[in-house]
Amino acid sequence: MSCLASCCASLTCGLCSSVASGISKKSARLAYCGLFGLSLIVSWILREVGTPLLEKFPWINTSDGDTHTKEWYQIQAVLRVSLGNFLFFGILSLIMIGIKDQNDKRDSWHHGGWCAKMIIWALLVVLMFFLPNVVISIYETISKFGAGLFLLVQVIILLDGVHTWNDAWVAKDEQKWYVALLAISVGCYLAAFTFSGILFIWFNPSGHDCGLNVFFIVMTMILAFVFAVIALNPSVNGSLLPASVISVYCAYVCYTALSSEPHDYVCNGLHNKSKAVTISTLVLGMLTTVLSVLYSALRAGSSTTFLSPPSSPKSAGKKLLLEGEDVEEGTENKKDIEGRPVSYSYSFFHLIFALASMYSAMLLSGWTSSSESSDLIDVGWTSVWVRICSQWVTAGLYIWTLVAPLLFPDREFF
């Protein structure tokens, strides 16, 4: 038996070492995304099969006479894995504060040491199952605010990405690019309004009073129209492409909100397919979370000044371009001494994953307040209103980016 255990341990270490050695500097960010994806898988597995195990832990199963429900144990499993993940990325975020160039020792910590990182991550997740319930309850409350902050960051990065896309094509100053901008904009608007029409069919069944759903869908269509009117106003330095993309995003958020309504709600047109929706919601939710985190992490420090370290190429690029060849030669000579500046903020990079850990916990637990069956993922009125509020915040931020230069002409907006 001991021989078998030794063999398993050696195989595990060998696998860990081979995986760690295959991670280079260029693939480090993808490796962090893979680790985050692994945490989602672990959360889901423990959520489905971990209840009998948690019931055996006396510090978790502390009910006196009253037996905890299966849903309560599922939420405990999800929150404890999330807390371990949050601590892992949160600690890394604090350690990486202030890194400006690659000569900093912490740069190698960010890109290397993967075998140790995997072990530390696993230990943190395991240790969370030995904490008392009161700690998890506190983390549950904090996670709701952290998840909201994560959604806000996603909105800001989406707006920044859309504006960057539009500016890049306009800067080419060629007719074919203007035609492409117009075609994509019109296509996005057609998609947004068509999808909104489909939502009327799905979530406003005949014979039922579904005023709330109608309000959500009509508001989505009104927002799309308002985006276009403001963006095309001559006094506003706007463009139709960002307006159309944000309109599609708002329509999608409206769909996710309506599909999160309780499945016994008569206005939820998908309630007759509850099991299929459960599986698709889980897969789509986990996939979109991983992709959004990946996008956020890859764009960290690459588009907005406050996310970039002071010495990054983003903040120093214009100055270097204005300097002559002599300065360029001097830079080459000093490169080995000063080190190359980092291309993105490592601290913000890990902060995104820490917040995403909270968001994923809310996604898998239905924001910890769902009265639906424990077999359903992210279903309940709390999920509905979180998404609707996210849509309204997105609309407000986008409109603000358009009208702010008019309201404050003396200020310069980036």
Bridge partners of 341? 101
Residue 29 near residue 297, CB atoms below 8 Å: yes
Q: What is the pLDDT along the chain (414 residues), one digit of tens a residue?
A: 444 344 444 444 444 444 454 555 567 888 888 898 898 889 888 888 887 888 888 888 776 545 777 788 888 889 999 999 999 999 999 998 888 887 888 888 888 889 999 999 999 999 999 998 899 889 988 998 888 888 888 888 888 888 888 888 888 888 888 899 999 999 999 999 999 999 998 888 877 788 999 999 999 999 999 999 999 888 887 788 899 999 999 999 999 888 888 877 888 877 555 444 455 656 665 676 667 666 665 565 444 433 444 444 444 443 333 344 444 445 444 445 456 787 778 888 899 889 989 988 887 887 766 445 455 555 678 888 888 998 999 999 999 988 888 887 776 655
**Shortest CA distance to 73 belongs to which of 62, 87, 86, 84?**
62
Residue 129 near residue 84, CB atoms below 8 Å: no
Residue 169 near residue 312, CB atoms below 8 Å: no
How many residues belong to the chain?
Answer: 414
